[in-house]
Chain A
Amino acid sequence: MLGQLAQPENEIQVILQTLFSFAFIIYLFYAQRIQSMTMLRQIEVTLRKIKGLRDDGKEASIKTIKEIGKPERDPAPMVERFMEHFMIEPVGLDPAGVVQKLGKILDVREFTFEKEVAAMAPNATPPERNNIENLLEASLALNVFYKVIRHYYLLGKKTMNIYIIMQIHMILPMIIQQIEAYSSALQAFQEGMPIGDSVGAIVAAKLINGAPTRDVAKEMVAAEIEYEGRHVVVTKAKGPGGSVGMPGDAVVNLLNEYKGRVTMLITVDAAGMLEGEQVGEIAEGVGAAIGGPGVEKYKMELISTEHNVPLYAVAIKQGIEHVVAPLVQPLFEATDKAVASVKGLILDYSKVGDTIVVAGIGNTVGVAQ
């Protein structure tokens, strides 16, 4: 090669100039296509991994159902059918009553899931069924993520439209974060471990501290305690199975039961933290600290407005990767700080003889009362 290069320079220069000109022209016309191909490759690599996680979720669900539920027939076809389940949200063209319509659809969804799980795992106890239901929901979520990303990948590949490819490529890091979170949930729900979202339920359980409880709404319990001369009613989802219960209904029932005597409503829940914030930071605020589709929040806001009860909130900060993953130590330790925060709010904003409702919001998997 060096010998050839030692030939008269003009020939080599001409060849090189031609090649570079050729490469430049190719790049001029195909730059976007090259970029699309690079992005497609990145999506493809990620998609392959997501498919693995989706399959792991399905296998974990089947394995757990077989171990706990001891079904007579193979649950695999039922699990596969469950993973394709969907919910159509109500039409919002006429917004009046849309929350009630959404609530009704969510109730039907809940009822259907309970029936499906009961059929899949007939020998499981109610808490175990709740855990299996949560496990299946995590698997379902992984399946949806996989299918949506695959859709955009295949559509992009078919059309080679850079804008379609870019859409999914740009949000891929955020999607991966959510997928990793759901993947961590598999272990938690398989074993019935408390998760990041359980912090609200743990705070409520710590306040209850062994006091007798009673059912106040579907999968919701409440206990009455005395604190510094105040009558405190603490409510949470009924554990230790994985359930968020109906905290909105519980608050409505309690506020109606105490007929205007409640002077304060405190909600405690996990809250998303911003980058730079510490896991387990506690923040106090006003309003109803409760996530989800909004139905339970709506009920709380409505009833507190009717009874003129001020809403206070305690948030326990955590990242999206913690919400459904097994509870990390800083979050468990944060529950003590949140208990102190709730007590501080009670002392600061109520007087002796007042009745206060405290609602520990979140999934109560692995947390009794």
Chain B
Amino acid sequence: MKRMSDTTPMAGGASQNWLTLAAMIFVGALALVSLYMGFRAYGDEEIETAFMYLLVGASGFIAIGYSFFRAKPTTKEALEPKKSDVITTLECPQCNLKRVRSFQRGDYIFKRDEPCGRCEGQMVITAIHTRKEEKK
């Protein structure tokens, strides 16, 4: 039985890319020729013809730019599992000594963790959160 993870939906993706690129090159070449013709017509003082060619040439380049914009993936960043930098804050209820360290597996809020370095008390985990404030 074929497993789901073996099913790749990517068939045809590469050929589609080449097709788009070929179409863009074709439109680009046409636009370039149009612009050239437009400037030549302008030099010959055929204003109406020049306007038409320049318009077509500019439209061609706008179309290419738009295609690039549309072809961008929907996600700006690569979708990767985010790893947050998480810190654990420990406090001694007796002498109020505060210590911050990286999160370790097994930490949880209100856990009586390690002995206090200053007095004979037991440090308690009072906070666990990511290190930096997230920017929206």
Contacts and interface: CB of A to CB of B under 8 A. Distances in A.
Interface string B59-76: 000000000001111110
Interface in B88-129: 103, 105-111, 127-129
Contacts of B33: 5, 12, 16
A61 to B, nearest CB: 12
Interface in A322-364: 322, 325-332
Interface residues of A, number: 73
Nearest to A40: B16
A150 B9 contact: yes
A53 B83 CA distance: 13
A47 interface: yes
Contact of B34 (A9, A16, A150): A16
A20 B74 CA distance: 31
B70 A38 contact: yes
Given A205-B110, A369-B110, A184 B36 contact: no
Which of A43, A53, A60, A327 has the most C-beta atoms of chain B within 10 angstroms of its own C-beta? Answer: A327
Contact of B108 (A38, A153, A330, A366): A366
Contacts, number: 157
B105 A192 contact: yes
Given A5-B33, A44-B9, A329-B133, A191 B105 contact: yes
A239 B82 contact: no
Contacts of A53: 79-81
B16 A41 contact: yes
Nearest to B8: A51
Interface stretch (A106-114, A173-181, A288-296): A173-181
B79 A187 contact: no
B10 A48 contact: yes
Contact of A42 (B3, B74, B84, B107): B74
B21 interface: no
A193 B110 contact: no
Contacts of B83: 187
Contacts of B36: 2, 5
B130 A172 contact: no
Contact of A186 (B81, B103, B108): B81
Contacts of A327: 128-130
A45 interface: yes
Nearest to A322: B134
A239 B34 contact: no
Contact of A19 (B30, B127, B129, B136): B30
Which of B7, B74, B133 has the most C-beta atoms of chain A within 10 angstroms of its own C-beta? Answer: B74
A37 B16 contact: yes
A195 B134 CA distance: 14
Contacts of B72: 42
B24 interface: no
B37 interface: yes
Contacts of A9: 37, 40
A56 interface: yes
B129 A44 contact: no
A41 B13 contact: yes
Nearest to B133: A329
Interface in A178-205: 179-180, 183-184, 186-187, 191-194, 202, 205
Given A49-B79, A367-B108, 7 more contacts: A19-B30, A44-B13, A57-B81, A58-B5, A184-B84, A187-B84, A329-B133
Interface of B: 3-5, 7-10, 12-13, 16-17, 20, 27, 30, 33-34, 36-37, 40, 56, 70-75, 78-84, 86, 103, 105-111, 127-134, 136
11 contacts: A5-B36, A12-B33, A38-B71, A49-B75, A179-B79, A183-B79, A183-B80, A183-B82, A239-B108, A240-B108, A329-B132
